Chains A and B, each alone.
Chain A
Amino acid sequence: MADFQTIGKNHIRVDALEKVTGKATYAGDIYLPGMLMCKLLTSTHSHARIKSIDTSAAEALPGVRCVITGEDYPDARFGSGALMDRRIMARDEVFYIGEPLAAVAADDEITALEAVELIKVEYQDIENVIDPLEAISDKSPEVHPDLEDFEGYGFALGGNNCTMLDADRGDVEQGFKDSDLIVEETYHTQPISQGFLEPMACVADVEANGRLDIYASTQGPYQVRAQLASVLDMPIGNIKVTAMEMGGGFGAKLRLALEAFPALLAIKTGRPVKLINTREEAFTLNGPRLETNIYLKTGVTNDGRILAREARSIFDMGAYLGAGPNSGVGHGLGAYNIPNFKLRSYGVYTNKIYVGSYRASGVADMTFATESHTDVIAHKLGIDPMEFRIKNALSDGDISVNGSVIPKNGLMETLEALKERMGLPKKLPSDDPKEGRGVGICVGEWRSGSGPSTAAINVNEDGTISLLTGSVDISGSDTSLAQIAAESLGLRLDQVVVAKRNTDMAPFTGPSGGSRIVYSQGRVVQNAAEDAKSKLLDLAADRLGVPADALECAGGAVYVQDNPPQSVDLGQLARMSLSSRGGPIIGTASLSSLPYAPVFNAQGAEVVVDRETGQVRVTRFVQAQDVGQAINPMGVEGQLEGGAVQGIGRALSEEILIDKDTGEVRNPSLATYLMPLSVDMPEIENILVEVPSADGPFGARAVAESPGFGPPAAIANAIFDAVGVRIKTLPLSAERVLAAIQGRPEDEYRMDVDELRSAEAP
């Protein structure tokens, strides 16, 4: 392993001081002269025609400056993926309770709220459909009867089936015939919220020249810019988006959310307009994740080899495609080499709030199913769950679901590390008859995120550098990118400035999410640093009279490798460059995609189950993850710990409860949507495995999304180990666990798999 100067060392985050002193500026912290406050009117009907909206009383209220409705926006649809199915504000029809219908800009918040209450809407109800298992049938009422007219209608199957993704290999029927044991099960995961602490916020302002200035809490400034341009029907160049410090996004803030409302109000009033979502709106206005129903059928031999898998998952999309099922179909196999498979993921419309992304949406749902299923099979075969996983684990050279060859990776190392740290296999006895103790494991499989990325590095006249990256700093990524740049150029971290930026000045980059930043953006930062370095070496070669390949960069200088005292420092080179033929030094780099770099992790949970109340507490949580090369180990651990605790919340207490007749969110509050608190969390033990990736900066892999996948299955498996009950529905609440212990039947989610099979084209 190379000896790094800044990589692999813990550094204090570049933004730490701002954050601990309260000086960091989030979108809601912006106050501009003449600023108005915006509030929204949202639908109270789940599916209805809008017969009329009367805003006259609202407009007449003193202090109200402007009221807009869907009619004020250009008549167009947009979308987050290929399918353009959504209007930014409802026009003739509403599709879910909570859908925005109107927006008010007023002198202060209370006036805006009073104005909203004065807007009168006349609805004419249309039949709705709430249950995705009902919606997928062709007998169901249709959410969007005009689905076929939407641009991008390609993957849809018709009816409410707005997208279908598939993957096939080999011959599953033969694989099942060759199997000694076939296990068929269905699993169900719950609607869940990303739970970011900072509700979405945006301040929109119009410059004197008519350009739109957007200050937003967002992970995707370029994506917001493009979608806003489309929704407002204006050139992209007319809009500048500044991503402010963001109080958590986790995927929720990757796309256009509420920015279009203050934007249009700012244009119409000529004044800055601020909109901050309430916590309730964080649940009812913009994409959480909805339920998933997953069918798995797996064939294995008696000695534990998996031969075939059929997986069908139905993802409830809500009223619009939003973030889609995303990664559902790619993760029906898990981290195993299965030669024959048939995988289908369906996205289905219902009259509910549409889905957003959440830390690799779809994968967490699939992983709960596949990794619980893995344990069920292992137990039926009488094979230890860890050994069964090791036996079937993917190896270098195997072909992944998407057809890529699996490169060198640390899957086996993570399995071995977890096994050793936890002392598996083991039994956890309890001398208290009221409780059972158990241990369960889960293996997660993901990939490092790719996508268009650009970066630029300016070398300042004193030899320090300014790094321009369009990425949003989420969880220390700015610090990691600075470390990468520093390492490449032989500088200290404090010699790197990460510029505060906006979409005008930083070059385009993909959204900051999907495990993209360290891998892809980090790579392009490294490339930009290398570009700057080669220019510096050329200049130094001239100056020192040696060929460029005899030179190296370290300690803020360029030196002759065979004779280090023969050197020139970067500041001198930078000043020289001002008057040299090349001009001031800037390093740039750009890439559109990077090769597949898998990310594997193995997690284990020890639990105590109260046999009489069903209460489950996690007493120990261990995880091993192949991070390739930890750029900032403390930062990496923080990502792993945060992700694991989000997963524990998904496993035990979080659930968005939805009214089965209206689709309304029944618990849009942090008092009733229960995220983990410090009192209930165990210490999280992290093992950083480092098997470098081929293409990541210094071998780094993506880190942030994987830790959230595993806890639900690990805990469900641990509950089985503790008290012998298998629960296939999340969350693993006390009521559900107690009912299972007492032998009462579980909730029923009936997937009509035969109907799905027959719907396929012959």
Chain B
Amino acid sequence: MKRFEYLEARTVRQAISMLQRYGENARIVAGSTDFLVRWRQGVWNPEHVINIQRVAGLSRITYSSRNGLRIGALVTVRTLEQHPMVRRRYPALAAAAASFAGVQVRNLATVGGNICNASPSGDTIPALLVFDAQCRIAGPDGDRWVALDQFFTGPGRTVLRSDELLAEIRVPPPAANTGSHFIKHSPRGAMDIATVGVASLVSLDGRRGPCSQARIALGAVGPTPVRAYSAEDILRGQDINQELIRSAADSARDGVKPIDDIRGSAAHRKEIVGVLTRRTLEQALSSAASGPLAFEEQRRLAVQAAF
């Protein structure tokens, strides 16, 4: 661990110019739920730490039925968990936020930080992926947009250049008759890094279908969180039945190459991908037809609680 200089940026421009000045020797912190831990472990050794917590304009979250959700990078995971429109229109995202660590960490952790950390098992990522989130990246020459499913390049690695900052995440409004669900497989109902995380979204053409949109995203089973495109193709345009769901689940399972680690073996993870894909699709389908579950029920199912 190396001693470092602490700096604060007050504007996006200021943050970017600090990044330009210090390059690889600087690290951005926002909620700082990871920084001190990794620093003490000797994994991150910047000479300069740039706190963007006070950068104006990055902490707002707004929703409109036309533009969907606009989430400033500094919005906390706790805010996502509690926001009434997130719970109503993006239930898988609220449930995923609720499953993230514990409330003390959620009050600090930012959505932007969770994304930029690019952990393969980041809890909010699968849900953001199935809602087709888009990332606004601020750089010295202005903004650029990258779809979230193009944002990650490897474990802990993103498309961000060393002088860029993730400023905002936009999530399009879901179509009418859309249901979503998220389940995290881990030993405890809180605090754990996911062994497997699966989010599914199903939109129906009218309340009885056919399926106009299906998205499935998998966490903790690859170098980055991924969409299960082949599984989605099985469902899109079809009248979804149990057989198709099973088929999609098998496809999702067969499409992943997880690793063995202290949380589980690759074989177990594949097995669980199949099960959770099936269950999240079933629940998403049901919610698409009859409306979302109450938040508390979503949360219970997401963390496999036994209340």
Contact = CB atoms under 8 A, between A and B. Distances in A.
Nearest to A671: B193
B185 A657 contact: no
Given A613-B304, A735-B268, A679 B193 contact: no
Interface size range on A against B? 20 to 34
Nearest to A678: B190
Nearest to A731: B187
A140 interface: no
Given A110-B3, A113-B1, A610-B304, A735 B264 contact: yes
A230 interface: no
A544 to B, nearest CB: 63
Interface string A659-697: 000000011000110101101101000000000000000
Interface string A596-622: 000000000000101011010111000
Contact of B306 (A612, A617, A653, A674): A617
B222 interface: no
Contact of B188 (A667, A679, A682, A739): A679
Nearest to B305: A679
Given A733-B187, A735-B268, A738-B271, A615 B304 contact: yes
Contacts of B193: 671-672
A671 B3 CA distance: 25
A657 B265 CA distance: 14
Contacts of B276: 613
B109 to A, nearest CB: 14
A653 B272 contact: no
Nearest to B3: A110
Contact of B189 (A113, A666, A680, A682): A680
Contacts of A653: 187-188
- B contacts with A: majority SS: loop
Interface size range on B against A? 20 to 34
Nearest to A679: B189
A712 to B, nearest CB: 15
Contact of B191 (A619, A667, A677): A677
A657 B263 CA distance: 10
A652 interface: yes
Given A612-B275, A619-B306, A674 B187 contact: yes
A113 B3 CA distance: 12
Contacts, number: 57
Nearest to A673: B262
A613 B275 contact: yes
Nearest to A607: B306
A739 B10 CA distance: 54
A53 interface: no
B17 to A, nearest CB: 30
Contacts of B262: 657, 666-667, 672
A182 interface: no
Contacts of A671: 191, 193
B188 A735 contact: no
A680 B305 CA distance: 7
A734 B306 CA distance: 15
Contact of B185 (A615, A619, A677): A615
A682 B189 CA distance: 13
Contacts of B191: 671, 677
B192 interface: yes
Contacts of B304: 610, 613, 615, 617
Contacts of B75: none
B265 A735 contact: yes
Interface string B1-26: 10100000000000000000000000
A280 B306 CA distance: 31
- Specify which of B271, B272, B306 lies most central, judged by the most chain A CB atoms within 10 Å of its CB: B306
A677 B264 CA distance: 20
A672 B3 CA distance: 27
B92 interface: no
Interface in B257-307: 262-265, 268, 271-272, 275-276, 303-306
Contacts of B3: 110
Contacts of A666: 262
Interface in B164-216: 185, 187-193
B268 A676 contact: no
A613 B190 contact: no
Contacts of A735: 264-265, 268
Contacts of A677: 188-191
A733 B186 CA distance: 10
A156 to B, nearest CB: 34
Nearest to A654: B187
B119 to A, nearest CB: 12
A615 to B, nearest CB: 5
Contacts of B303: 679
A373 B305 CA distance: 30
Contacts of A739: 268
Contacts of B305: 617, 679-680
B190 A608 contact: no
A683 to B, nearest CB: 11
A613 B192 contact: no
A716 B270 CA distance: 25
A399 to B, nearest CB: 43
A734 B183 CA distance: 15
Contacts of A657: 262
Contacts of A615: 185, 304
Contact of A734 (B1, B187, B189): B187
B273 to A, nearest CB: 11
Nearest to A675: B188
A275 to B, nearest CB: 17
Nearest to B1: A113
Nearest to B191: A677
Contacts of B185: 613, 615, 734
Contacts of A113: 1
- Specify which of A608, A619, A679 lies most central, judged by the most chain B CB atoms within 10 Å of its CB: A679
A77 to B, nearest CB: 34
A612 B190 CA distance: 21
Interface string A417-457: 00000000000000000000000000000000000000000
Interface string B63-87: 0000000000000000000000000
- Specify which of B1, B189, B264 lies most central, judged by the most chain A CB atoms within 10 Å of its CB: B189
A671 B1 CA distance: 21
Given A613-B304, A674-B188, A682-B306, 11 more contacts: A617-B305, A619-B306, A667-B262, A671-B193, A674-B192, A677-B191, A679-B303, A680-B306, A733-B187, A738-B268, A738-B271
28 contacts: A608-B306, A613-B272, A613-B275, A613-B276, A613-B304, A617-B306, A652-B187, A653-B188, A657-B262, A666-B262, A671-B191, A671-B193, A672-B262, A672-B263, A674-B188, A674-B192, A677-B188, A677-B190, A679-B188, A679-B303, A679-B305, A680-B188, A680-B305, A734-B268, A735-B265, A735-B268, A738-B268, A739-B268
Q: Which 6 A-B pairs have the closest CB atoms?
A: A617-B306, A679-B189, A653-B187, A735-B268, A612-B275, A680-B189
